[in-house]
Every structure is written in structure tokens, then in C-alpha cells.
């Protein structure tokens, strides 16, 4: 059976609350709208009830927003209602996104008691001017203090970093990477700053108040990520993700393998039975609809067999090991060569892809142009 149509073994919970919306952020969230928390939790409970029975999952991921922005009592309530409908398998991964600011010892204890075994910490930078520009509410000392407290309860901590920030030099980025390595995390994610339409950063760039980093500088920074982190013992396993051996993010691997997953909360995107659904991105609209007994889904699309096959390629090329030929043929009605052989040859001749015999994958050079290459396969 094609695993695309199997029972999902992963679940995502979107928690849309934050202390502040950073200028570059276009995620579904509300800032300092604590009065919505109770309605959100009631709506989330209703949406979870659509499962009808408790489901067993291998990975569970709380993202946002900032899940740890919730008060201790609301965080406990969230965990309790989720575990009413989702049960963790024996060898599970339970990840929670957190920010250094406001992560108290009491909240850390709640997460530990709930069985959370992976924390994704939104550090972004260690440099005060960069943090100020990114509108983050923590400093380097906060990061170090929070990380050290987390290490007492969790053996799997990931650090998120952003490069290509206006005013950020290559050397400053290298220092950022080294500071992150010194914390001794098990996983590091590095993301190039993007300017999404509708965000404050988009408007500031359009008006000239922000000057984006040059393509050449961003390329050099991404190369530094690959080189510095490899030297520090991290394996690059996806375009933006680096892990110590045995510490890849299992939940995100579900996405990149094109496997099905549940998702709940405003703006959450799920993939079940070959259908992609995305909940309303407006937090208040999602709450209102769900509490009224209506569907929280805002967009829905059932993929054709060819669309599923092409998506498998696009997602698989994000992984450094690439797309396995045998697995692709087993999960689709095509071989890679019959469906996209000409595209593979074009990019191979350009030095952006390579054929290892068992896999097709991006070369190191191809990773710099990943967004451009994958468009060829759609």
C-alpha cells in the first residue's frame, strides 16, 4: 500500500500566541491576545474530536507562534486535551518550539513531565544589533541561561538561526554559528531571511528603509553554514537543517518524505489520503467557525497521481540524500526517468544535480539554487 494513504503517524498542533509579531514573520499568530486563549483551546478540543478515536503517533510537534508563551495552567490544559486524542508510540519524538524569553523553570518542568523530548529554541542571533533589528525580545545572556536550564531536562535541543539580516557581515554570521556550536545543541537550523508580502519587513524593504543582503553575501553565509557545521560534527541532512548523528528531526522528515500527517489549529496544514488541507489563517475566523460547529478548513486540494509524484520529487530534493529511485517507483505510477528524465539530465549537465545510481540529489552547488531547480519538476 502506498504510505500516502496510510493512517498518519505524525501530528502537528499550531499554537498561535506570541508576545510580539516580529517584522519578518508571516506565520499565523496573534500578539498579546491572551483573552483568546480559552476560546482557542475550546476550538482546538472540538477539532481534535473529529479524529473520533484516539490515534497513535510516532511524532508530535507543537509549533507557533510560541507554544511556551501560554501560561503554566494553559500549557497544562493544552497538553491534557491533546493527549485525550493522540497517544505517543513507544519510540516517539515530541517536539515543542520555544523562545528564550519567558521560558520559566515551571514551564520547563511542565514540558518535561508531559514527555516532551525535543525542544526547538528560536535563538536567531546572539548579536544585540541583529536581535534588535529582528525585533527579538532576548539577548545573548538570555539564550545561554535558557539553554543551560533546558539541558538539565532535555537531551535533544535544536537551535534556529537566521542569516542574511541587513547589516550582518559574513564574519558576524560565522561568529553566530560558533556561538551556537559552543552551546552544544544536538541540532541547528539555519534560514536565510525572507521578505514575505504583508510583513513589516516587506514594506520596509519596498520603501528603502531596509536593504536586503546581496545574493553573493547570502551565498557565502550559506556556504559558511555548511562548512562550519560540518567541521563541528553536524551532518547536513536537509537544505536548512544540520544534526548530530541520530538527532535528525523525525517529525520534519515526515514532511520531506511526502508522508501523511494530522494537523490542528489555525493555519495548520494537514496531508491525509492524498488531500492537502489548510485551516483558516485568521485565528479569530478559525475559532469562530470551529466553535460554531463548522469546518476550520480554509483551503483544500486533492492531488492527482502525477501531482503527488512530482511533489515527492520536490520534497525529496530538500533532503541531502535526495530521491530514492526504487522508492519513488514503488510509490508512484512512474520511474523518475519516465516522468522527469529530461529535467534531471538538464540539471545534471548544469552541475546542479547528480545521479548516484540509487538516488538523484542536489549537488553542493545545487543547494544554492534549490528553489530554482525544484520549479523545473512541477
Q: Are residues 10 and 149 in the same domain?
A: yes
**Rounded distance between C-alpha atoms, residue 135 and residue 22, angstroms:** 5
Determine, yes or no, domain membership for 306. Answer: no
End-of-domain residue from the set 256, 283, 311: 256
**159 to each of 6, 164, 229, 233, 251, how far by Cα in Å?**
32, 17, 13, 15, 16
Q: In terms of domains, do 34 and 183 share one?
A: yes
Which structural domain, as residue segments, surrounds residue 173? 3-256
Domain-located, residue 290? no
Q: Is residue 269 part of a domain?
A: no
Can you read off the three cell numbers belonging to residue 299? Answer: 483551503
SS3 30: strand
The DSSP line for 302-357 is: EPPHHHHHHHHHHHHTTBTT-EEHHHHHHHSSS-HHHHHHHHHHHHHHTTSEEE-S
Burial letters 222-246, b for 16+ CB under 10 A, else e? bebbbebbeebebebbbbbbbbbee
* CB atoms closer than 10 angstroms to residue 317: 23
Q: How many domains does the chain have?
A: 2
Residue 292 domain-assigned (yes or no) = no
115 Rama class: left (phi>0) / alpha (psi -120 to 50) / beta:
left
Give CA–CA dist 376/356, Å, rounded.
20
Residue pair 347/355 in contact (Cβ under 8 Å)? The answer is: no
Instruction: For residues 111 and 105, give the distance between their C-alpha atoms in angstroms, rounded to a whole number.
Output: 10
User: What is the distance between the alpha carbons of residues 120 and 65, in angstroms, rounded to a whole number?
Assistant: 12
DSSP secondary structure of 91-150? EEEEEEEE-STT--HHHHHHHHHTT--EEEEEEE-S-HHHHHHTT-S--HHHHHHHHHHH
Is residue 284 assigned to a domain? no
Within-domain flag for 274: no
Domain containing 154 — which CATH number?
3.80.30.20
Residues 252 and 337 in one domain: no
> What stretches in the chain show pLDDT beneath 70?
1
Shared domain for 102 and 219, answered yes or no, is yes
Q: Are residues 331 and 227 in the same domain?
A: no
Render pLDDT for 134-168 as a digit per residue (tens, 0 to 9). 999 999 999 999 999 999 999 999 999 999 999 99
CA angle 233, 237, 241 (to 5 degrees): 80
Q: Which three cell numbers stand for residue 8?
A: 498518519
266 within some domain: no
Q: What's the distance, Cα to Cα, between the start and end of the chain in Å?
A: 25
Note the pLDDT of residue 1: 63
Amino acid at each position: 500500500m502506498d504510505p500516502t494513504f496510510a493512517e498518519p503517524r505524525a501530528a502537528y498542533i499550531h499554537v498561535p500566541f506570541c508576545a510580539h509579531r516580529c517584522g519578518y514573520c508571516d506565520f499565523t499568530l496573534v500578539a498579546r491576545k491572551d483573552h483568546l486563549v480559552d476560546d482557542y483551546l475550546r476550538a482546538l478540543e472540538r477539532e481534535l474530536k473529529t479524529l473520533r478515536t484516539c490515534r497513535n503517533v510516532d511524532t508530535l510537534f507543537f509549533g507557533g507562534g510560541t507554544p511556551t508563551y501560554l501560561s503554566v495552567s494553559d500549557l497544562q490544559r493544552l497538553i491534557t486535551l491533546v493527549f485525550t486524542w493522540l497517544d505517543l508510540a513507544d519510540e516517539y519524538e515530541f517536539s515543542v518550539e520555544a523562545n528564550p524569553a519567558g521560558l520559566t523553570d515551571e514551564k520547563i518542568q511542565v514540558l518535561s513531565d508531559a514527555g516532551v523530548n525535543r525542544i526547538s529554541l528560536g535563538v536567531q542571533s546572539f548579536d544585540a544589533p541583529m536581535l534588535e533589528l529582528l525585533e527579538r525580545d532576548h539577548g545573548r545572556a538570555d539564550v545561554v541561561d535558557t539553554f543551560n536550564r533546558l539541558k538539565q531536562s532535555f537531551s535533544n535541543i535544536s537551535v534556529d538561526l537566521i542569516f542574511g539580516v541587513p547589516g550582518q557581515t559574513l564574519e558576524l554570521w560565522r561568529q553566530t554559528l560558533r556561538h551556537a556550536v559552543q552551546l552544544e545543541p544536538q541540532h541547528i537550523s539555519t534560514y536565510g531571511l525572507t521578505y514575505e508580502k504583508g510583513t513589516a519587513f516587506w514594506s520596509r524593504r519596498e520603501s528603502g528603509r531596509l536593504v536586503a543582503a546581496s545574493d553573493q553575501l547570502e551565498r557565502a553565509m550559506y556556504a559558511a553554514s555548511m562548512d562550519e557545521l560540518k567541521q563541528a560534527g553536524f551532518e547536513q541532512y536537509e537544505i536548512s537543517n544540520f544534526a548530530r548523528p541520530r538527532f535528525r528531526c523525525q517529525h520534519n522528515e515526515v514532511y520531506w518524505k511526502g508522508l501523511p500527517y494530522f494537523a490542528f489549529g489555525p493555519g495548520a496544514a494537514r496531508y491525509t489520503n492524498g488531500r492537502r488541507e489548510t485551516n483558516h489563517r485568521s485565528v479569530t475566523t478559525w475559532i469562530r467557525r470551529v466553535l460554531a460547529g463548522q469546518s476550520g478548513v480554509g483551503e483544500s486540494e486533492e492531488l492527482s497521481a502525477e501531482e503527488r509524484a512530482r511533489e515527492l520529487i520536490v520534497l525529496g530534493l530538500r533532503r541531502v540524500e535526495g530521491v530514492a529511485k526504487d522508492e519513488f517507483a514503488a510509490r508512484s505510477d512512474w520511474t523518475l526517468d519516465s516522468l522527469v528524465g529530461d529535467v534531471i539530465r538538464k540539471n545534471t549537465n548544469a552541475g546542479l544535480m547528480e545521479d548516484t545510481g540509487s538516488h538523484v540529489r542536489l549537488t553542493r552547488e545545487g543547494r544554492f539554487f534549490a528553489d530554482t531547480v525544484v520549479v523545473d519538476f512541477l
